[in-house]
Structure 1
Amino acid sequence: MSATRAREIAAGFDLRQLPADFLANPCPVYQVLRETEPVRRMPDGSYFLTRHADLVAVYRDAQTFSSDKQVEFAPKYGTGSPLYEHHTSSLVFNDPPLHTRVRKLIMGALTRRAIAEMEPGLVALVDSLLDALEASGGGDLIEDFASAIPVEIIGNLLDVPHAERGPLRGWSLAILGALEPSLTPGQQALGEQSVREFLDYLRALVAERRRRPGDPERDVLTRLIQGENAASPDGSVQGERLSETELLQNCIFLLNAGHETTTNLIGNALLALQEWPAAKAQLLADLARTAADGPGQEAVLTLAVDEFLRFESSNQLGNRRALRAATVGGVALPEGALVTLCIGAANRDPAQFERPEQLDLRREHNRHLAFGFGIHQCAGLSLARLEGRIAIGRFLQRFPDYRLTAAPTRGGRARFRGFLRAPFATA
């Protein structure tokens, strides 16, 4: 995108009317907004923030900036609709106390030990996918690799039978697609249908798990069903339990949160390396150098994964609502103001990152906001990093000379940045 075109889009910037060239590459527009109007008043009266420091200030102040989306989602979906009920009941779009209760239960099943115990199974899954790709000489980076990994991991966390995981990706894409700033009737209808079908499936799964509970230390669904008592060894303390609606909707949220963002992380990383061959060569050299040093190789991949997350953030946008008048970045925001946090722009802010437009896989002290910040920081960030390290590292070591065989297809979304298809050959 030319500088002239970026300025043109920025001058009339409206999340509800985004041109195709912005969706293909929003970064030049974000740069113009960050430099000229970092707290932009939008045509609908909301505010669009692009500076790293301003996002951190909003994230820090959960007393002033609410994550509750009922006010915004009521006119968008209609109160009582499946999409409204889902998105206003899930962890990410709620404030304490619901947010605190659900997050505590989820984190109890995502301990450091529990995640470490997932690694052998994750390695086996990734290797099986790579074996299939090697046998066919290639495939699709997204459909045949990146998207298959988080669906299996979240399926395992909820203990969804393997034979029943087929619809999960489609449901997730449709429900998250309905979060786009501009929604077509077709997208809304598909999202509503997907919530209904997902709920029907989960009701049967929950009923079965109530009859045959799993291990609450590893089975997130059992932990959510049993409530806080799952964390009490003797069960003597009567903890809170989720309502049936809270339980079902947060199971949907778990799949959506763990699926789309991790798929994008893996896909974006492998495609970025095609555009940055010097970075790819350096990463391959670092992996070869540390091949016999497990902790050393993990450190190399950890730096790389965090840089991929910064450079091409899986989740580009967040939202808050001002519960009282506030000032952000020198701009007065009235009570009730709706605020969009542009994570993609903040993660390329030169005030925070040296050479932000460069993919630097050795970048240290990488304080990116891809996982959010504050009380709403992603509960699954350690699991996402593990999936990224294993998937990207083992893919590169198996197929160091992989190449695209056709132009990749972008997802065409503003909120979630990734690819739908990316055909490739292993050599």
Structure 2
Amino acid sequence: MSKSSKAIRPEDIHGFDLANPPQGFVEDPFPYYDALLVEAPVLVQPDGSVLISRHDDLDRIYRDTTLYSSDKKAAFGPKFGVGSALFEHHTTSLVFSDPPLHTRVRRIMTSALTPRAIAKMEPGLIKTVDELLDAMEGAAQVDLIEDFASTIPIQIIGNLLDVPMDERAPLRDWSLAILGALEPSLSAQQLAAGHRAVDEFKAYLEDLVARRRARPGDPETDVLTRLIGNEQRQPGEEGLSEIELIQNCIFILNAGHETTTNLIGNGLALLHDHPDQKARLLAEPELIKPAVEEVLRFRSPNQLGNRETTAMVEIGGITIDRGCNLHLVIGAANRDPEVFSEPQRFDIARRPNRHLAFAGGPHVCVGLTLARMEGKIALERFLARFPGYEILTGRKPGGRIRFRGFAHLPASLQAG
């Protein structure tokens, strides 16, 4: 089940352009991913960038910060405009930075997301999930994204930065606009919406930071207070500038929201569409952790990563110049038959499962443990409450290449 039904011709792959994808790719990229792995696992694009699809290649690139940089100023200058709102954000935040900024910010975030700190978040997470389930109880129809999946990470990450509850409403729309600007190609409207979202988000956070400076929170649980105070700074290490502070707060809210919303929404859709796997999980609830890992592999919330070469390299027999933008196709790497047995099969008991949904190496997602906990609790408690849920006609994909998820997922909570 779920094997690719569309046959992709070799000539379609060798001429594949991520910036101008063929019709149907955004809705169902997986046949193209499978063909890339066979026909062109290293594919030069018309603009000179290169698609990399094999699992082992991505794994090696993620681990090598000498030959492969996360700094995207050269690529983002032409895309966003040097000095623009989106350029400032995406070249300052953790994911697109190299040491020393990456080292400083990651250390602060990691120190606030220890196993002990995350364990302390679990009761609040369970309370949030149960309140959402209570609110949906008895409804004739719900939207599993709007009413459930998207609300959970906004509340959890909002708690992490101690954003007042009555100030959280705009966070999701800002996040969608800013991350949407990372798509391979943008309309003028998308670009303008992204710039506007960064400006509005910055203005809000500047005010929040001023309030937090006046009344600091508990640095053990409040990441914003830790960032302001540059907690865990090493002797002689430079502190965060105001811009670095603001932009990395935006990053924390955006990254935590997007990944977890898609993880939960994709999980509910996949279990519905694979009733044998759903029935097995209901019968063997101890499989929830490997089930979450399989959702992450099979429908990775983040389908693409990027690196830039710092020297001439050779990958898959192809020589790539210094300064080349690499598109790391996570969605394809997680279907690589050299690593995964029957990769097109959704198997909640799959072990081992060396997926790259959270990237790898020094840039492995700093919030992966929290995202896994959110996915686990959301899915297991939803299934326990509404085991007979049905997804109805009208599901709407997110419509993006880089991030894989749903914009809307209408459902009935009881089998018809």
Alpha-carbon contact 1:227-1:239 (below 8 Å) kept: no
- The answer on whether the counterparts of 1:67 and 1:92 sit within 8 Å (CA) in structure 2 is yes
Question: 2-side partners of 1:4 and 1:171: how far apart?
Answer: 38
How far is 1:6 from its partner? 6.0
Q: Which runs of 5+ in 1 are unaligned?
A: 288-296
Q: Which residue identity lines up with residue 110 of structure 1 in the other structure?
A: L
The answer to whether the 8 A contact 1:69-1:88 is kept is: yes
Pick aligned residue for 2:269 from 263, 268, 271? 271
**1 CA distance for matches of 2:306 and 2:315?**
14
- The alpha-carbon deviation at position 334 of structure 1 amounts to 1.3
Q: Is residue 30 from structure 1 mapped to residue 30 from structure 2 by the alignment?
A: no
Checking the alignment, whether the CA contact within 8 Å between 1:225 and 1:241 is kept in structure 2 is: no
Rounded Cα–Cα distance in structure 1 between residues aligned with 2:176 and 2:410: 20
Matched, 1:253 2:251: yes
| Aligned CA distance change for structure 1 residues 9 and 411 (closer, same or farther; 3 Å) | farther
Structure 2 residue aligned with 1:198, among 192, 197, 201? 201
2:356 counterpart residue number: 369
Please tell me whether residue 14 in structure 1 is matched to residue 17 in structure 2.
yes
Instruction: Give SS of 2:138's match.
Output: helix
| Structure 1 residue 9 displacement after superposition | 4.0
Alpha-carbon distance in structure 2 between the residues aligned to 1:391 and 1:120: 13
Taking the TM superposition and a 5 Å limit, the aligned residue runs for 1:80-119 are 80-119=83-122
Correspondence for 2:337 among 350, 353, 361:
350
Instruction: Choose from 280, 303, 307 the match for 2:290.
Output: 303
Q: Given residue 335 of structure 2, which amino acid in structure 1 is its aligned partner?
A: R
After TM superposition, list the pairs within 5 Å mapping 1:154-193 onto structure 2: 154-193=157-196
d(CA) in 1 for partners of 2:148, 2:316: 41
Gap runs ≥5 in structure 2: none
Partner of 2:401: 414
Whichever residue aligns with residue 311 of structure 2, its letter is: R
Q: For 1:402-421, what per-residue CA distance to the aligned partner results, in whole angstroms no more than 9, with x for missing partners?
A: 00122310011110000000
Task: Report the CA distance between 1:11 and its aligned residue.
Answer: 3.6
The equivalent position to 2:305 in structure 1, one of 318, 321, 343, is 318
SS at match of 1:321: strand
Q: Higher helix proportion, which one? A: 1
Alpha-carbon distance between aligned partners in 1 of 2:5 and 2:112, rounded to the nearest angstrom: 47
CA contact (8 A) 2:62 2:361 kept: yes
Distance between the aligned counterparts of 1:21 and 1:418, measured in 2? 16
The aligned amino acid for 1:247 is L
| Match in the other structure for 2:315 | 328
* Equivalent residue, structure 2, for 1:57: 60
Q: Is the 8 A contact 2:174 2:201 kept in 1?
A: yes
Aligned to 1:285: 283
Residue 391 to residue 6, structure 1, CA distance change in 2 (3 Å) = farther
Q: How does 1:120-135 map to 2 (within 5 A)?
A: 120-135=123-138
Q: Counterpart of 1:362 in structure 2: which amino acid?
A: A
**1:292 equivalent in structure 2:** none
Q: Tell me the amino acid that sits aligned with residue 116 of structure 1.
A: A
Alignment partner of 1:339: what SS?
strand
What whole-Å deviation, never above 9, does each CA across 1:107-143 have from its counterpart, x for those lacking one? 1110100000000110010000001111324410101
Alignment RMSD (CA, Å): 1.4
Shift in Å, 1:215: 1.1
Aligned-pair CA distance for 1:5: 4.5
Q: Is the 8 A contact 1:265 1:309 kept in 2?
A: yes
Q: Secondary structure at the match of 1:420?
A: strand
Equivalent-residue separation in structure 1 for 2:55 and 2:121 (angstroms): 33
Q: 1:405 aligns with which of 392, 401, 408?
A: 392
The partner residue of 1:142 within 113, 123, 145 is 145
Partner of 1:354, secondary structure, is coil
**In 2 relative to 1, CA 8–270 (structure 1 residues): closer, same or farther, beyond 3 Å?**
farther
- The structural deviation recorded for 1:331 is 1.9
1:242 alignment partner AA:
L
TM (norm. structure 2) is: 0.96
Matched residue SS, 1:424: strand
Note closer, same or farther for the CA distance 1:159–1:94 as it changes in structure 2 (3 Å cut). same
Q: Deviations over 1:11-40 (max 9, x none)?
A: 421111123411111011011111011000
User: Which deviations, in whole Å up to 9, do the C-alpha atoms of 1:32-79 show, x marking residues without a partner?
Assistant: 111011000111111101110111111121100000000000000101
Native 8 Å contact 1:227 1:240 kept in 2: no
1:255–1:9 CA distance, 2 compared to 1 (3 A): farther
The amino acid that maps onto 2:373 is: L
Moved more, 399-408 or 71-80: 399-408
SS in structure 1 of the partner of residue 257 of structure 2: helix
- Alpha-carbon distance, 1:337 to partner: 1.4
Are the equivalent residues in 2 in contact too, given 1:177–1:191 (CA < 8 A)?
yes
What does 1:231-246 align with in structure 2 at a 5 Å threshold? 240-246=238-244
Q: In the alignment, residue 280 of structure 1 is paired with which amino acid? A: K
Question: Following the alignment from structure 2 to structure 1, what is the Cα–Cα distance between the partners of residues 127 and 140?
Answer: 20
Q: Structure 2: how far apart are the matches of 1:222 and 1:239? A: 18
Deviation at 1:238, TM superposition (A): 6.7
Question: Paired residue for 2:78, among 53, 71, 75?
Answer: 75
CA contact (8 A) 2:8 2:35 kept: no
Note the C-alpha offset of 1:327.
1.3
Counterpart residue number, 1:294: none
Once the two structures are superposed, what CA deviation does each residue of 1:129-170 show, in whole Å capped at 9, x if it has no partner?
A: 001111324410101000000000010001000000000000
In 2, the alpha carbon distance for the partners of 1:36 and 1:405 equals 37
Bigger Cα displacement from structure 2, 323-332 vs 123-132: 323-332
2:196 aligned partner, one-letter code: Q
